[in-house]
């Protein structure tokens, strides 16, 4: 397979010469404005652009990149909070931080790819496998971080980025450098490899990040960085059980796909397999420990994993890395509009004030200027028996997060149906598309006091659906209740007491419990 890496053109007569002297680079780093991450990123990007625009000796280039890299990681970690918890669609200011982070890693990817080309062009290249492993691992890591930024902003990674990742890994295979250890001081093991970093990028994509809250994407990425060594990357061969086996076409610009879903005949010269069976077993073991109240001491997850419900994320990963998800319903295209209320509080007030006139034309989901809660208007893309795919109108000022509870009403329904926002994607035209899963044809707005709490909180009561064998349930903000809580429910000037009996679902935005009357 011919290798063609994307690289900027070199300037044969540069005005500024690239700085490669270690003491000058360290002096530059010490003067970076770390308190202003976007300015620090801009300064470092400019320095990297100079070194990436001209011919530099291999050793000088690699040494310079390795000196800059720790500071780049620090700046990157300071940039992330400015866009990684944003609602959708993210603002221009938040996008500026994301763009700076992506450009920073793009320049590092360019630099290490230049180093790889120089290394391969050496006439005498004896004993350079370890250096090859280092250069490729660093380039793949830069590409992986660019992909993470796209995941955090719910934008699809460019196909060219997938092509670069696959080609870099193919280079490592050709040089037998994929398994060699590489020093990496930003992992719990203080070491990595081409295999581990590449597998982490593949696994994060397979984790369906567009279905996760952006803060959960970060948690999953960190977790995968600590367990990615459990997967197997191997050539094509006998497959006894296709569960947990994914095809990775190294000559393509596509992400991995479940082996059973592949329609083409695999090519043994360029296609490899990603096998996640051992990783799935490890995740099962971690779930079991958390259920027993024990946080694994292997550094794979945060110390507050139990309190932060890390088990939910692991259950999500098992579904993605184990059995291949099957679509339950076919979708049909539909061109229509729908009104949306996003979040527990807004939905609670909208349902309670259902008889109040509102102005939906302004497209604001929330409290209006007259103190009246208004829905926002969205375009229906397609519909199935279980949900909708919607697109936000540009005129709408609505914002949303993955896992938000949503009330919706189209032109043909008179009541507000309840749904959950399951996935999001920002397309190439910067349009926000979301997927909703219907969970109830109606809901009641109630106020609750849980476990004798003095404060009332807004909640949503979902009716029993006998035909679907779905018991009545209540939706509350995360952390208000737990299984066995005594809840005082206020509805239409009446007060009832119930006890929560089962956690039906937990997202980043709400918890849903079954209950019984006391």
By the 8 A CB rule, do 483 and 502 touch?
yes
The per-residue pLDDT string of the chain (518 residues; one tens digit each, 9 = 90 and over) reads 778 899 999 998 888 899 999 999 999 999 999 999 999 999 999 999 999 999 999 999 999 999 999 999 999 999 999 999 989 999 999 999 999 999 999 999 999 999 999 998 875 555 578 999 999 999 999 999 999 999 999 999 999 999 999 999 999 999 999 999 999 987 766 789 999 999 999 999 999 999 999 999 999 999 999 999 999 999 998 888 889 999 999 999 999 999 988 777 888 899 999 999 999 999 999 999 999 999 998 889 999 999 999 999 999 999 999 765 555 555 666 667 899 999 999 999 888 876 333 333 333 345 444 455 678 999 999 988 789 999 999 888 889 999 999 999 877 777 889 999 999 999 988 899 999 999 999 999 999 999 878 789 999 999 999 888 889 999 999 999 999 999 999 998 899 999 999 999 999 999 999 999 98
Q: Tell me, what's the pLDDT at 469?
A: 87
Q: Is 213 helix (H, G, I), strand (E, B) or coil?
A: coil
Q: What angle do CA 365, 371, 372 make, to 5 degrees?
A: 50
CA distance 3 to 404: 44
Q: Tell me, what's the pLDDT at 327?
A: 52
CA-to-CA separations, 208 to 6, 88, 121, 214, 375, in angstroms, rounded: 27, 17, 39, 12, 29
Q: Tell me, what's the pLDDT at 323?
A: 60
Q: Tell me, what's the pLDDT at 125?
A: 59
Instruction: Check whether the bond before 89 is cis (ω within 30° of 0).
Output: yes
Helices 37-51 & 92-121, crossing angle to 10 degrees?
A: 30
By the 8 A CB rule, do 504 and 512 touch?
yes
CA-to-CA separations, 28 to 45, 68, 112, 125, 318, in angstroms, rounded: 12, 9, 20, 32, 45
CA distance 401 to 210: 11
| Cβ-based neighbours of 15, under 8 Å, separated by 6 or more | none
**Is this prediction's pTM over 0.75?**
yes
Count Cβ neighbours within 10 Å for each residue of 374-408 and write b for 16 or more, e otherwise. bbbbbbbbebbebbbbbbbbeebebbbbbbbbbbb
**Tokens 């990681």 sit on residue:** 73
Q: Tell me, what's the pLDDT at 384?
A: 84
Neighbours of 347 (CB within 10 A): 27
CA distance 414 to 244: 44
By the 8 A CB rule, do 62 and 139 touch?
no
CA distance 29 to 66: 12
By the 8 A CB rule, do 65 and 77 touch?
no
CA distance 322 to 242: 10
Q: Tell me, what's the pLDDT at 15?
A: 85
CA distance 190 to 347: 47
Helices 92-121 & 159-174, crossing angle to 10 degrees?
A: 30
Q: Tell whether domain 334-440 is in CATH 2.40.10.220.
A: yes
Q: What angle do CA 219, 224, 230 make, to 5 degrees?
A: 155
CA distance 101 to 83: 10
Q: Is 399 helix (H, G, I), strand (E, B) or coil?
A: coil
Strands 373-374 and 366-367: antiparallel
CA distance 405 to 500: 19
Q: Tell me, what's the pLDDT at 396?
A: 84
Q: Do domains 334-440 and 444-517 have the same CATH topology?
A: yes
Domain residue limits, the chain: 1-188, 334-440, 444-517
- 175: its two tokens: 């040089």
- 467: its two tokens: 């035909």
CA distance 458 to 487: 12
Q: Tell me, what's the pLDDT at 493?
A: 87
Q: Tell whether domain 444-517 is in CATH 2.40.10.
A: yes
By the 8 A CB rule, do 122 and 106 touch?
no
């Amino acid at each position: 397979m011919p290798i063609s890496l994307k690289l900027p053109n070199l300037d044969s007569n540069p005005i500024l010469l690239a700085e490669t002297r270690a003491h000058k680079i360290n002096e530059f780093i010490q003067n970076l404005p770390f308190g202003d991450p976007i300015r620090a990123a801009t300064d470092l990007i400019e320095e990297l652009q100079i070194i990436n625009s001209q011919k530099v000796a291999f050793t000088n280039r690699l040494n310079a990149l390795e000196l800059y890299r720790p500071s780049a990681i620090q700046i990157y970690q300071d940039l992330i909070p400015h866009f990684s918890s944003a609602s959708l669609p993210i603002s221009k200011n938040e996008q500026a931080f994301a763009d700076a982070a992506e450009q920073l890693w793009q320049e590092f990817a360019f630099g290490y790819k230049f180093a790889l080309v120089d290394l391969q062009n050496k006439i005498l290249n004896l004993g350079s496998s370890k250096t090859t492993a280092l250069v490729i691992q660093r380039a793949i890591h830069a590409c992986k971080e660019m992909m993470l930024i796209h995941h955090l902003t719910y934008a699809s990674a460019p196909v060219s980025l997938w092509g670069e990742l696959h080609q870099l890994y193919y280079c490592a295979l050709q040089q037998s450098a994929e398994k060699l250890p590489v020093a990496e001081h930003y992992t719990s093991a203080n070491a990595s490899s081409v295999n581990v970093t590449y597998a982490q990028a593949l696994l994060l994509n397979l984790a369906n990040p567009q279905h996760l809250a952006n803060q959960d994407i970060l948690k999953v990425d960190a977790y995968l960085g600590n367990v990615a060594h459990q997967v197997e990357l191997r050539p094509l061969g006998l497959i006894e059980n296709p569960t947990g086996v994914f095809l990775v076409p190294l000559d393509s610009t596509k992400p991995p796909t479940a082996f059973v879903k592949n329609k083409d005949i695999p090519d043994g010269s360029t296609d490899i397999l990603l096998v996640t069976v051992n990783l799935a077993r490890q995740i099962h073991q971690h779930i079991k420990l958390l259920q027993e109240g024990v946080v694994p001491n292997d550094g794979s997850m945060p110390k507050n994993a139990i309190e932060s419900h890390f088990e939910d994320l692991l259950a999500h990963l098992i579904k993605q890395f184990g059995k291949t998800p099957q679509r339950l319903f076919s979708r049909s295209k539909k061109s229509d509009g729908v009104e949306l209320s996003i979040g527990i509080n807004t939905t609670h007030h909208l349902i309670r004030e259902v008889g109040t006139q509102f102005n939906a034309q302004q497209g604001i989901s929330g409290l209006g200027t007259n103190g009246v809660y208004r829905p926002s208007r969205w375009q229906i893309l397609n519909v199935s028996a279980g949900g909708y795919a919607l697109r936000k109108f540009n005129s709408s000022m609505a914002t949303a997060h993955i896992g938000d509870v949503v009330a919706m009403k189209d032109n043909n329904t008179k009541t507000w149906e309840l749904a959950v926002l399951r996935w999001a994607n920002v397309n190439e035209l910067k349009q926000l598309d979301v997927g909703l899963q219907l969970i109830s044809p109606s809901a009641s707005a109630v106020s609750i006091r849980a476990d004798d709490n003095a404060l009332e909180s807004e909640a949503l009561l979902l009716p029993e659906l006998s035909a679907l064998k779905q018991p009545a349930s209540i939706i509350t903000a995360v952390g208000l209740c737990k299984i066995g809580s005594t809840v005082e429910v206020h509805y239409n000037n009446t007060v009832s007491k119930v006890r929560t009996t089962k956690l039906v679902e937990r997202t980043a935005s709400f918890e849903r419990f079954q209950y019984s009357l006391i």
